[in-house]
Structure 1
Amino acid sequence: MTASSASSTIEHPAPSAALQPAPLPTVGRLRLPRVRPAMLASAVTAGLGVVSLPAAAQQAASPAPATLPAIAVEGQKPAETGEGYKAEESASPKFTAPLLDTPKSVTVITREVMEDRGVTSLKDVLRTTPGISLGSGEGGTAIGDRPFIRGFDALTDTFVDGIRDGGAQSRETFNLEQVEVIKGPGSAYTGRGSTGGSLNLVSKTAKAEDFNEGSVTLGTDLTKRATVDVNRMIDSNIAFRINAVAHDAEVAGRDEVEVQRFGFAPTVTFGLAKPTKLTLSYYHLQTDDIPDYGHPFDPRTGKPVGVDRDNFYGLTSRDFQKTYYDGATAQIEHELTDSATLRNTTRYSYSENDYIVTKPNASLTQILAGEMSRESRSRNADSITVANVTDVTGDFEAGGYKNTYVAGLEVSWEQSKNRGYTLNPATITGVSLYNPNPGDGYSGSIGPSTSFAHVETTTMALYAMDTIELTPEWEVNLGLRLDRYDSDANGVNNSGAYTAKTTDAFLNYQAGVVYKPLPNGSIYVAYATSSNPAGGAAGEGGDAGNPSAATQDLSPEENRSYEIGTKWDMFNKALSLTGAIFRTEKTNARVSVGSGVQQNVGEERVDGFEIGVSGNITPDWQIFGGYTFLKSEIVDDGPSSSNDGKEFPFIAPHNISLWTTYNIDTAWKIGGGAIYTARRFANTANTYELPSYWRLDAMAAYKVSEQVEVQLNVQNLLDETYYDATHAGQFANVAPGRTALLTTNFKF
């Protein structure tokens, strides 16, 4: 933060007691983690061989045996889950077959891909993953990770180790083993939501070995980052692991924007070699940032204004964003038999998102005068989730057919509270468009908003998945889930006080047929459904967010997909090639048909195809990436028909992402990648757009010794100015410029 901004910092008003927990001790700008007794209580309760002949036999053998030349046998070890660039299986027990035999598109970003690319946040991971577009929060829809998968918003479709992770957050990578992008409607897997797909973040866990690893990163824009990963065997049955991170940086190409993060994640497993295993884990992450809404749009061109990339329109004396996340998990696994395992997982999580941010806006009159307005958006929200999942996995034979199954029961309770801030003035006009001063003081008043929203959601679900092997060449994959969903809301908005209640029961399913012409390849057809009940994005705002009088009596939106695909493992299973053609339909979308009135009369559709590659071409050459084509269409926008035939906002029709590395020798590794994103419309009317862009990345690593490796990453190598997100065409988020990161990885 600049000196001018530091000198003009004001005291931010405290939210109401219902929203603001007790103050915490501070270290610099970061608060120490909050340990809640309820959290801890919830966690606790809840081959070739050579055979030598005996000497006598050797003497009896021929006295002049033939001498055969030595034969060198080379091969590639297939990558296991989380190792290399290719994953064999999903970490979720709901996938009852290896990825090769799963009739669904799944992209897995392994830890090695993330480390080689030098990404440090989930947004970085998603930005470099083919087929994913980024959206932005604002005020009603919170700032946080907001991916769009196959054209549809997946803001609330993020899961951690298979359990829904509520609340808008900016997530880290320090405790991630891999990120799984599960594409297409999938309520049979996840419950509500997942119209275009979902994310499953797989956490690092304790292992049956001892190791000490860490990294220190220094880079451009005052980047400083350190991580540590320590695993210890307490005895043959108990292992402990802890991961931690500290991150402090500015953002390349953006004046005044800052990012600070601190987190740690311990986990301990009891019974590693026992039929009953207990794993206890805890996760804490807190951030302290200067938020950034980028540049305003120019109404004359429908594109972001033509100003210097580093122009920052916020106020460092006023704007802030602080987030906190605490989660505790207890998982018990018990081997019922050699072919059946019972698992119970209980999680308590608390997240907090608190910010005031400047939204840049410029009318045509203002732009002609070289001016713009600083509008304000704010949020002060917290979310609590308590979830328990019990499932049994295994296999059996029935009628001569092998069945690999999972069946389970899920119960969850979610609470979300949100009260923003009232700023007077809320808008500052007459700000220079071409030479804004982020150090301008704010002399207005800031207080708690009179509007608020309080939502409680209870979900109970039964589900079952089964893969049936009919013959070595033919398999059938089936899935079924029944949800009971209850959401209660109360609050105050512009129309006054309100209460709303939504109760729904919905059944979703999936079915796929897999044909394996060869053991290393599969061809499949699949059909799947999903449901979006009113209030399904509770706490995040927007039309799909809090239940209201306009939505409480509406049926869940219904989605379905058709997919034909193929998957092949090449080069002794070292390289995976995938391809799919698909259609996703939303048949009863909620649309506004008048003031405060909504109906299930809309229709939306996405047609597309994608190809993907991951793994090793040779033992020294790795590759990861793909291409996605999406043709989105608002088929029916309701009675007004004003947007019929328009494309979805935020969705690029063409997206390419490719990354590759090569081991020159035992010490040197080099790599590089390219990302292309076609133009995306920024609003539903298709009048504003974000331009297309190319981005190039590069890396080089040198292994100094078995304990030390030095790695250089240069992201956005050509320093391209591009915009990677927006919110309804109200502003254009500026992506980071050229960033150089020098990382020392060490083992000790």
Structure 2
Amino acid sequence: MSTYTSTGAPQPSANLSSSAVGLALASCATVSLAAENRQDEQPPAAPSAIELGSTDVRSTHVEGYKVDQASSPKFTAPLRDTPKSVTVITEDLIKERGASSLKDVLRTTPGITLGAGEGGTPVGDRPFIRGYEASTDIMIDGVRDVGRNAHEAFNLERVEIIKGPGSAYTGRGATGGSINLVSKVAQTEDFTAGSLTLGTDQLWRTTLDVNRFVAEQGMAFRLNAMKHEADTPGREDVDVKRWGIAPTVTFGLHTPTRATFSYYHLETDDMSDLGHPVSNITGKPVKVDRDNFYGLVDRDFSKTSADIASIVLEHDFSEALSLRNTTRGGRTLLDYVMTRPSFGNTNTPAQLNAAINRELNGEVIRDGRARNSVTKTLVNQTDIFGEFFTGGLQHSYSAGLEFSRETIDQKDRYSVRAGSNADLESPNPHDPFPPVTRGTGSVSETKQDVRAAYVFDTLKLHEQWDLNLGLRYDDYYVTNGSASNSSELLNYQVGLVFKPLPNGSIYLTYATSSNPAGETVGQAGGADGAAGGAAVNNLDPEKNRSLELGTKWDVLNEQLSLTAALFRIEKTDGRSQDPVTGDVTLSGDSRVDGFELGATGRISDAWQIWAGYTYLDPTTRKYRSGGVDYAGNQMKFIAPESFSLWTTYALDDKWTIGGGANYMDERYLDDANTRKLESYWRYDAMLGYKVNRNLDLQLNILNLADETIYDASHVGVFANVAPGRSAELTANFRF
């Protein structure tokens, strides 16, 4: 759905998955298919051959679901020959499913579960990939976006999810994987496009996408804009409002030297909603009407903003050597006052008894939570990539340097007291409340400085054998008040790829990542375990490693990608508490074993499919917190099984029908495994009609069965309620 940049570099992704049996079946079955459809194929074009005019913009829309190359030059081979699981959600898929935010996209992606925040842990996009949190591993066009914020879909070409430890690619973190959001950029054509969506629950949304190309000056300009307002389906008194604008201009198209200037602005103004309290009797969300809202509409709010400016300079020295430099400055704001519904503290037997009695009496405590934080980033990243030969060996390589400073200022702006207790069955969101007063005004400032160098190389050892190598060094320094931590991180990956036929590969890869102390300070709270995983102290980094065996096949004339992967991820030297002193030590250990299966692309010209299944066995092997030993328990927030299917079929040149199903297994909400969210199925449907070449209509019905779904929680105190059934009619135009 989008091909990256100026040099025949990167490419999108093939889906992922596998089991030991699935791996063999995928390999054997697709080998026979491949034999029928064998086609001569060019060896993977490294970031080398540059075809000026078709590759000098960073992203080009590709029809359908299947993509072949990731957007980053760090991927030095096509995704089929990349020894790593990568899932790509294209713009077409995002639009067809009626998704308007990153959360909507991730909610229907197998292998990903969602977490929640409530003050200590900021509210915002909080995904868990293959068992480990990735909220600080979200990239925008390959550059880390550390502000815990909400991400919109109006300016996205695609979403790339890179699975498994990946510090070699992204730097610190990326324990279970990372997410790269690929932005829209100027194109070499003129068009005016957009959409108008009207729906149930007061939904109205409009987008605009205008592109102009001035060929004689080698310049292109693109503007994307969005306005969105709606009530939340199935939730009383909960609404969302947001708007955004994203202009970009590129100079020097069709020349060896290009410059792209872009800016992104997004504002949101929502009603804070932490859902329903979790019962201390059943360990599950209380059984009440889904639309019960325990917040205070005359007090609560949640506002965010993001301003990101980028300059990308590119130069092609030759068809085999290119240079790119990216400079980015950003500022994000997270500002909210919210109500946390609960039955009270349960830390002691007396508190637990009081909480149970309160629940039996139908009383919900309305605790107040507030946050005001500003995150500023300044990043400069330089990449040089291309290909060369040594002793008859072909190298497709990428090397780079990165310098960044991230500053998180958390201000004590509000003093919020608990409101009057709410009635469990009939809460009144207009109850009076204690006034919100000014806080102390003190600011907790966290600074993170990074200097990094990295190199990647795909060596073509033989027509059927590739060796994929990656190495990254990070000099990481963080300060918070008088505390500081300095860590040197060295991470790598080694992958061997065997291509039995031109349209398929089998790979084995080993990769590492590191989580330095202080990595999430200012962004996480006690929900993240011992020391919040965020203490700035002299602890060495946590270490993570993975082993993955997988296979990828392009079948049916290479229109359909089938993938499978069997993997193990282990966190060694994890943070834990000493049972005697209570000090935080590196004595923890956790492991996730799993497999994934995926299918992406076209079964025929009329029939498209995007499907995936993930199985995870997330086990806490060694971990202590608060004097309790949790060894042997299942890791919290993680669903052992998840499945997603989306498929469309063009009945003729006018009508298209589509539908999808999404399954999420039950998840524990606490380390003790005493609280959980139940499993669920969600079904969606779509009907499209092409009026003419300039206009098409699309009807989506989301959560068709109107299932009550709890999709996230924060340590089992409350559970977020996902949207109920809704209908949306969208008119898409393009001239």
TM-score, reference length from structure 1: 0.87
- Which deviations, in whole Å up to 9, do the C-alpha atoms of 1:547-569 show, x marking residues without a partner? 99964110000000000000000
**Do structure 1's residue 541 and structure 2's residue 527 form an aligned pair?**
no
Of 616, 620, 629, which aligns to 2:615?
629
The letter of the residue matching 2:428 is N
1:667 to 654, 663, 666: 654
1:113 to 66, 88, 93: 93
Q: Aligned partners of 2:441, 2:227: CA distance in 1, in Å?
A: 36
Query: Paired residue for 1:448, among 415, 439, 445?
Result: 439
3-state SS of paired residue (1:189): helix
1:655 aligned counterpart, secondary structure: strand
- Choose the corresponding residue for 1:620, options 606, 610, 629: 606
Q: 2: CA distance between counterparts of 1:235 and 1:321?
A: 44
Deviations 1:122-156 (A, max 9, x none): 00000011111000111111000000000000010
Residues 690-710 of structure 1, C-alpha deviations (whole Å, 9 max, x = no match)? 000000000001001111101
CA distance in structure 1 between the aligned counterparts of 2:154 and 2:508, rounded to whole angstroms: 37
Asked if the contact 1:81/1:89 (under 8 Å) is kept, the reply is no
Instruction: Find out whether 1:506 has 2:489 as its counterpart.
Output: yes
Partners of 1:443 and 1:554 lie apart in 2 by: 42
**Residue from 94, 104, 112 that aligns with 2:84:** 104
- The residue number in structure 1 matching 2:703 is 716
Matching residue within 335, 347, 358 for 1:366 = 358
> Secondary structure of the residue that 1:298 maps to in structure 2?
coil
Select which of 262, 280, 283 maps to 1:302.
283
Asked if structure 2 preserves the Cα contact closer than 8 Å seen for 1:551 and 1:598, the reply is no
CA–CA distance in structure 1, aligned partners of residues 143 and 536 of structure 2 = 26
Structure 2, unmatched stretches of 5+, are 1-38, 43-58, 344-354
Instruction: Give 1:472 deviation, angstroms.
Output: 1.1
Q: Decide whether aligned partners of structure 1 residues 131 and 206 sit closer, same or farther in structure 2, where only a CA change above 3 A counts.
A: same
Matched, 1:528 2:511: yes
> Which residue is 1:84 aligned to?
64
Post-superposition offset of 1:542: 2.3
Mapped to 1, the partners of 2:404 and 2:668 lie a distance apart of 37
| Alignment partners' CA distance in 2, 1:591 and 1:189 | 27
- 2:348 matched residue in structure 1: none
1:344 aligned to 2:328? no
- Find 2:542's aligned residue among 557, 578, 581: 557
Q: 1:328 aligns with which of 279, 304, 309?
A: 309
- The 1-side partners of 2:641 and 2:151 are apart by 26
Question: For 1:95 and 1:437, how far apart are their aligned partners in 2?
Answer: 54
Report the Cα distance in structure 1 between the residues aligned to 2:619 and 2:725, rounded to whole angstroms: 35
Q: Which secondary structure state, in structure 2, belongs to the residue aligned with residue 119 of structure 1?
A: coil
SS in 2 for 1:352: strand
* Contact residue 533 and residue 575 of structure 2 kept, 8 A: no
Displacement of 1:580: 0.3
Shift of 1:446: 2.0
After TM superposition, give the deviation of residue 371 of structure 1 in Å. 1.0
* Bigger relative CO (Cα 8 Å, ≥ 6 apart): 2
Distance 1:689 1:747 in 2: 46
How big is the shift at 1:83? 2.8
Where does residue 17 of structure 2 map in the other structure? none
How many correspondences in the alignment? 665
For 2:158 and 2:592, the matched residues in 1 are separated by 27
Q: Deviations over 1:142-171 (max 9, x none)?
A: 000000000000010000000001111111
Following superposition of structure 1 onto structure 2, how do residues 98-497 of structure 1 map, counting pairs within 5 Å? 98-236=78-216, 237-362=218-343, 363-423=355-415, 426-449=417-440, 452-490=443-481
Shift of 1:475: 0.4
Give the deviation of 1:452 after TM superposition: 4.2
* Number of the residue aligned with 2:589: 603
Q: Is 1:681 aligned with 2:668?
A: yes
- Say which SS state the counterpart of residue 121 (structure 2) adopts: coil
1:615 is paired with a residue whose SS is strand
Cα 1:220–1:239 change in 2 (3 A) is: same
Identity of aligned residues (%): 52
Residue type of the partner of 2:662? I
Q: Which amino acid aligns with 1:599?
A: T
In the alignment, does 2:580 pair up with 1:589? no
Change (3 A) 1:641 1:525: farther
Give the superposition deviation at 1:445.
3.8
Instruction: Specify whether residues 550 and 84 from structure 1 end up closer, same or farther in structure 2 by C-alpha distance, changes over 3 A only.
Output: closer
CA–CA separation in structure 2 for the residues paired with 1:124 and 1:398: 47
SS state of the match for residue 673, structure 1?
A: strand
Structure 1 ranges of 4+ moved more than 3 A: 77-82, 420-424, 449-452, 543-551, 638-641
Computed over aligned residues only, the root mean square deviation of the Cα atoms, in angstroms, reads: 2.0
| In structure 2, distance between residues paired with 1:178 and 1:244 | 17
Q: Which amino acid in structure 2 is aligned with residue 535 of structure 1?
A: G
Question: What CA distance in whole angstroms lies between the structure 2 residues aligned with 1:706 and 1:468?
Answer: 45
CA distance in structure 1 between the partners assigned to 2:329 and 2:732 by the alignment:
33
Contiguous gaps of at least 5 residues in structure 1: 1-74, 491-498
Q: 1:296 to 1:412 in 2, by over 3 A?
A: same
Displacement of 1:641 in angstroms is 5.7
Confirm or deny that 1:574 pairs with 2:565. Answer: no
Distance 1:369 1:641, change over 3 A: closer
SS of corresponding position for 1:115: helix
Instruction: State yes or no: 1:699 paired with 2:679.
Output: no
2:498 and 2:454 map into 1 onto residues whose CA distance is 25
535-544 vs 685-694, which moves further:
535-544
Secondary structure of residue in 2 paired with 1:517: coil
Q: What SS does the corresponding residue of 2:103 show, helix, strand or coil?
A: helix
Aligned amino acid, residue 409 of structure 2: K
Give the counterpart letter for 2:251 in structure 1: F
The structure with more radius of gyration? 1
Deviations 1:718-741 (CA, angstroms, capped at 9, x unpaired)? 100010000111110000000111
**Alpha-carbon distance in structure 1 between the residues aligned to 2:400 and 2:273:** 42
Find the aligned partners of 1:663 and 1:365 in 2 and give their Cα distance.
57
Q: Answer yes or no: is the 8 Å Cα contact 2:517–2:535 preserved in 1.
A: no
How far, CA to CA, are the matches of 2:374 and 2:66 in structure 1?
A: 37
